[in-house]
Amino acid sequence: MSGSQAGVPLGKRRRDEVELDPELEPDHQESLNKSEDSSKPKRITACLYCRRQKLKCDGAIGQTCTRCKDDGMECVVRPRSNAAVLASDLRWQQTVETRFKDMRDQLNSLQAAHDDLQNRLESQKIFNNVEPAWAPSTQSFNPRSTPAEVFPGSLDALRGALGPPVAELQGNAPLDVSVAEAALLWEYFYDTLAIYHGFVAGLSVDSPSPLLLAAIATAAAKRSTGELALHQAAWLQLFERALIRLLSDTSEKTWDDAVGLCIARTWFWKADVTTSGLILGTYMATLAPNTVDVRSRRVWDFLQITALSQAALHLEPPILPEQAPPGVPSRTPTHVLFGALAELFDIVGVMTRSLTSGVGLVQSLLKGNELSGSVSYAETAVLRNCRSDIERWGAKWLAAVHGLFALVYQVWLPNDGLGTDGARLPGGRPKTFLLNLIAVYFRSVSLLVDGYLQQTPSGDISRYHATARELLVLVVDTWADSLHFWPMLLLHSALIAAIILPSDGEVSLLLC
């Protein structure tokens, strides 16, 4: 140490001289840095995000705390002096703990059911050329042939691609369905149903997995009104065969299987946390370093749309995490409607994951005004933000469809396995079809948000009724002949709209 500093007490030295002194111990140096940081004015109250996690908040006055910044949350500080606020926070915490317990119980039940099914599979030796006890009988189905002279020649290539999975589904207990019928159902699905989730048929079809084929054929048969509906029970049993095979550890999972489960859940299969867990498990079993590509992102978005459609109606905790698994690429431009729905259900996901003290709309219809004010102040703010985001979403994507073929949107891409290639709309539909479809999704999701806003202290019943009225007008004017094609979310939203309007003859007038 230099002579000029030898007799100077440490506390009397300048700050920069101390920091540059090489003889200071590292721990002493660190304590000086901390003392400098402590000079910033600290907040007396922790932010809501840290408070609800019971963690220390390091935010300064007028600045975002580290935890909110890292997690991308809004750093909101609210004084604790209001007793109503404290009660709201406590109620929120208790509701979250209850929901986590319910989720654990449901996952345990799902695991027990899977183990039981696995034991049955092993005992019956289903996949060792032994006909199982559950094999369906063929006596209840009337054969219906598809003569070669009436089968479209344009579907010959499709019939060739569907032959192997049909044969695998039939196995040792064939039903009265044919490859030609499968091809007709496949074409019907992509001409009528698939567009409601934003994808269309590709110019060529690779041989799909048995589960994907069975899901598409069953959905088409159940939603058709002509001869194609005759064998819907047979196709449903083939779907069940493919599902049991999927649950076997001997079966290799593919992207087709995850998409097939989503299609089944959207149009005919049970929608609950159990099926969500199965879909997520299939996706994760398929995900591998060599399979992470653009298609993995599209399938993930489809999974989110499917799971959140149910969660938004019943406020069930979505099993799927908010973010895609590590390694899955970011979202890229695709068919305009699929891109629009992916963004819309990002908003729906924020709503369903934030509402922990609300009640699903179906149950709220049974309880009426008893639920007014049950949603907390923080959840009310989330709902209002979601409503504003939905308004912006509608304006953006209606403008996008008006400029459908502008290069900036890149609405058509090469085939990625979800059927997004080919510059055509199914069934020769005009561009106005997409405008109307985006409008009905906009009205349906707006109705759900307005419904949950009714459970807040500041609910606006007149706005809720106005949204319901707008949805029903759209249904009557545009979709009256196409309701049997609609996914579950749209059907249930229209039903809720019809129920909540006052019984003063207005609904009857709209539906006449």
**What is the three-state SS of 38-101?**
CCCCECCCCEHHHHHCCCCCCCECCCCCHHHHHHCCCCCECCCCCHHHHHHHHHHHHHHHHHHH
pLDDT band at 407 (very low <50, low <70, confident <90, very high): very low
Spatial separation of the C-alpha atoms in residues 255 and 283, rounded to whole Å = 7
Q: Is it the case that residue 247 has pLDDT exceeding 80?
A: yes
Q: Which of 110-114, 253-257, 387-391 has the lowest mean pLDDT?
A: 110-114
Give me the pLDDT at residue 150, please. 44
Sole residue written with tokens 């289903």? 126
pLDDT band at 239 (very low <50, low <70, confident <90, very high): very high
Q: Is it the case that residue 146 has pLDDT exceeding 50?
A: no
Structure tokens at 171: 């196995």
Give me the pLDDT at residue 214, please. 94
Encode burial over 484-502: b for 16+ CB neighbours within 10 A, e otherwise. ebbbbbbebbbebbbebbe
Give me the pLDDT at residue 130, please. 35
Residue 201 or 10, more confident? 201
Domain boundaries, the chain: 1-39, 125-269, 287-512
Give me the pLDDT at residue 86, please. 58
Structure tokens at 331: 């979202």
pLDDT band at 369 (very low <50, low <70, confident <90, very high): low
Q: How far is CA 75 from CA 84, 204, 322, 335, in A?
A: 21, 50, 20, 36
pLDDT band at 141 (very low <50, low <70, confident <90, very high): very low
Give me the pLDDT at residue 375, please. 80
Half-sphere exposure of 20 (CA within 13 A, CB side): 5
Q: Is it the case that residue 406 has pLDDT exceeding 50?
A: no
Q: Is it the case that residue 5 has pLDDT exceeding 50?
A: no
pTM of the model: 0.66
Give the pLDDT confidence of 164-173 residue by residue, as tens digits: 999 999 888 8
Sole residue written with tokens 């409601």? 196
Percent of the chain with pLDDT over 70: 67
Beta bridge partners of 87: none
- Coil, strand, or helix at residue 132? coil
